[in-house]
A and B are shown apart, each in its own frame.
Chain A
Amino acid sequence: MTRTLVVIGHGMVGHRLVEQLRARDDAGTWRVEILAEESRAAYDRVALSSYLDGKSAEDLGLAGSDFLADPLVRLRLGCGAARIDRAARTVLTTDGTELGYDALVLATGSRPFVPPVPGHDLDGCHVYRTLDDLDGIRDAAVDGAAGVVIGGGLLGLEAANALRLLGMRPHVVEMAPRLMPLQVDDGGGQVLAGLVGDLGLALHCETATNSIIAGPDGRVAGVELGDGSTVEAELVVFSAGVRPRDELAEPAGLARAERGGVLVDDRCRTSDEHIWAVGECAAVDGRCYGLVAPGYAMAEVVVRQLLDLDGAAFPEPDMSTKLKLLGVDVASFGDAHGTADGALDVVHANNAAGTYAKLVLSDDARVLLGGVLVGDASAYATLRPLVGRELPAPPERLLLPAGAGPDAGALPADAVVCSCNNVSKADITGAITGAALSDVAGVKACTRAGTSCGSCVPMLKTLLGECGVAPSRALCEHFEQSRSELFEIIRVTGIGTFSELIGKHGRGLGCDLCKPAVASILASLGRGHILDGEQAGLQDTNDRFLANMQRNGTYSVVPRVPGGEITPDKLIVLGEVARDFELYTKITGGQRIDLFGARVEQLPLIWRRLVDAGFESGHAYGKALRTVKSCVGTDWCRYGVQDSVAMAIRLELRYRGLRAPHKLKSGVSGCARECAEARSKDFGVIATDRGWNLYVGGNGGFTPRHAELLAADLDDEQLIRLVDRFLMFYVRTADRLQRTAAWIESLDGGLEHVREVVVDDSLGIAAELEAAMREHVAGYADEWAGVLADPVKLSRFVSFVNAPDAPDPTISFVAERGQPRPGPVVLPMPSIRPDSEEVLA
């Protein structure tokens, strides 16, 4: 018989509980009603800040379509719980529905604590908990103005970073003498303060907040601190801790813990055997936990009880945290403050490098109890699973910078590598060998390790290596090298042909994977027209015919219309060409005009007309820069703040013909209304009243992604310089057919690394990248004109070598909406089923 589970709260833990229940309840014994107070289904609150850094609400969503379509799950959005009637076993919802339950789980989470200082409820005061809160902060943010964050804990620093991303100057007020008092110690706090201070954060430690000051308009104007001084501010964010949301408990007669929270035992059960509490609202044996990993562990404990599986009680929670705040690594794990009897510290601080590392050891200095890492947390993945175990190496060695530390072999099999999802080393190595996994993606899919906070991903790579899986970077069966390695080989050796390259560095004859990749590299390096000599045979059909092959073997032709700006005369030429060659005409999504249905032998005739009228190839066929889309900007638009059309034309002409691992698109918007949809592009530019914001790594396609901010308020020359560097860095180092978004993700350090290399020139290669781009710009020539001027190249544009004018009998057209479209295939298909030896039908 199907029983009913009601879950109050659809946060990360409530969602995990239902998801795990549904995954394991094969018999369908439970149907689930979920009450979600927010208007959205569960999302990744741990990654909340990334919402202001390019991620959309959808990106953060946790509930997939499978989950939402599950007939045994009903999610009531925008609906909370008003009252629990334990005797009747019902929950009254805020919209007046009465839901009966056989089991009830409270997953109501916590609410931000707002200290009752005078003025705390003024307009301009915010908290930092939900996507709606962030929307509110975003709307209220004033570019260039100061904002105050009350609370210098983990969340406070995130909020400060959010203000910074929104263009504000953040101040942080913290009562304790140091930042992140719960996670780090004095030494770590000092290093952290130095690092975040360098990033433009003003710190006010060891001080209280007396009041929030109102301006004449009744809105927040500043904050008065404990010493009587004031900080002017347009906006205040309270981040002074959270309080469990336990208000349903008392009216229902459920016990609360002394310091708040629904009191539960170590199986997360309240005094009522039908009611459990999990996550931040639950006080397990009297203690609340404000991290997601213990919440997930509680969800697991309850699911096992609901399904009558053998279950352990709530385990000793792992309170470890690792995060990147304002680009600064901070990690703390185990007994970070050394509260155990006789605990010893070993500290390694390097003020010059801005790193701090502390290990907490047992009194005999043999067992690792915990630690704090600031500035460089690369040792976290190895150290955290060792908590409670004997040290595999002397502590000094464990504290040395990355690379010198212990390897994964030092980890015992039962050490938990992914604490978010409670996956042990043995689980992972077992999956790698058992399911013959070959990469991190496989390990993630198979074990869930690395799918939450991601801090153990480097360890997953190490474990793959330990299991004998060398991640293959081979381009294909002909080359063991990756694309970026081949790029460097070709660049450095000056090799100019595929035959020479494969003869010296590969094997066999090549294939449709390596040949176009090498063709692209040769083109990126400006080694001749793409149809010169042997290069012609390397090109994919689109590049070989400089047009886009369509489903019936004809091509479409897209002339370049830089920035989408076109004169009436040129428009007329396009219309005339389309009419004369009976081409289907369509405006593309990228603001270009596409002429479809051209036969191979017609292509040169069409190009001749277009080139004579001043058009050139739009490279719509290549893994190359396609379009730079634009809005009308200040020329015509009431709202435009910069000349987006001129900038789009400038960018499109600068990068036209640039060959890349994948096609590239761009857009320039003249104001924040973003009419050019620049953030769905590989590089997008959005005007501000102080210049240009540059976004990178967006795309449409299978996995749409918004581009993320790389640099803000650039003038024209700064913008061009950064785009030059970004594109050339991508062209040189990305894998074959890897879009910019995937490329950025694949880099250690992701976008931050790109920023270091492209903006801060951390590798010292910026000048070289710029020079390479200058060379590309100087070497540009129209590829269509190149074919028209070369009889050998032209000779390939025939329907048949022995009947150059005979039309291809496989091509036919029918009319639709007044234009041609491909007709049905007229030839008998020479496809032969295996049971027949007949070759021709």
Chain B
Amino acid sequence: MTTWHPICPWEALAPACGVPALLAAEPVALFRTHDDELYAVGNVDPFCGAGVMSRGIVGDRAGEPTVASPMLKQVFSLRTGECLDDPAARLPTFPVRRHDEMVEIAVP
């Protein structure tokens, strides 16, 4: 059974900006894209172990929504968490939704 955890009000998210959140002691990066889609991936950059993914730049690569790590600039798919520059690395992804005026994340 999926348990949704309320994280923050929808207004707290600016378009095309990430915010960091804590989900049961797990750092998560939460993104609202330009077209109001929501994504949640792990906040820890797998290349350096620092919790910085939410501070990356949101964009797209050939239409795939992405975030670029602010540390060494590898680009990850926001949909799948896969690193588009190095398929050996991947971020965990989390189900995320807008529920009433809150943003909620679930642990799968």
Contact = CB atoms under 8 A, between A and B. Distances in A.
Interface in B30-56: 30, 33-34, 42, 44, 46-52, 55-56
Contacts, number: 133
A536 B57 CA distance: 10
Contacts of A352: none
A515 B14 CA distance: 16
Given A509-B65, A801-B30, A810 B59 contact: no
Contacts of A827: 27, 44, 49, 51
B22 A537 contact: no
A809 B25 contact: yes
Interface string A797-830: 0111111001011110000000000000101011
B62 A477 contact: yes
A839 B26 CA distance: 12
A738 interface: no
B19 to A, nearest CB: 4
Interface in A477-518: 477-478, 499, 508-512, 514-516
Given A832-B89, A832-B90, A511 B59 contact: yes
Contacts of B44: 810, 827, 829-830
B62 A830 contact: no
Nearest to B42: A830
Contacts of A831: 46-47, 89-90
Contact of A840 (B26, B88, B89): B26
B41 to A, nearest CB: 10
A257 B6 CA distance: 95
B106 interface: no
Contact of B71 (A538, A549, A834): A549
B96 interface: no
B14 A829 contact: no
Contact of A541 (B12, B14, B56): B56
A544 interface: yes
B57 A810 contact: no
A540 B92 contact: no
A112 interface: no
Interface majority SS (helix, strand, loop, mixed), chain A: loop
Given A509-B16, A825-B49, A541 B27 contact: no
Given A800-B21, A809-B25, A839-B108, A551 B50 contact: yes
A758 B86 CA distance: 45
Interface of A: 477-478, 499, 508-512, 514-516, 534, 536-538, 540-541, 544-545, 549, 551-553, 795-796, 798-803, 806, 808-811, 825, 827, 829-834, 839-840
Interface string B47-88: 111111001111111110110101101010000000000011
A541 B58 CA distance: 12
A303 B108 CA distance: 70
Contacts of A803: 21-22
Given A516-B57, A810-B49, A810-B50, A508 B12 contact: no
Contacts of B7: 801-802
Given A516-B57, A802-B7, A809-B27, A840 B92 contact: yes
A830 B46 contact: yes
A553 B57 contact: no
A534 B46 contact: no
Contacts of B15: 534, 537
Contacts of B21: 800-803
Given A801-B19, A802-B7, A802-B21, A509 B52 contact: no
A800 B75 contact: no
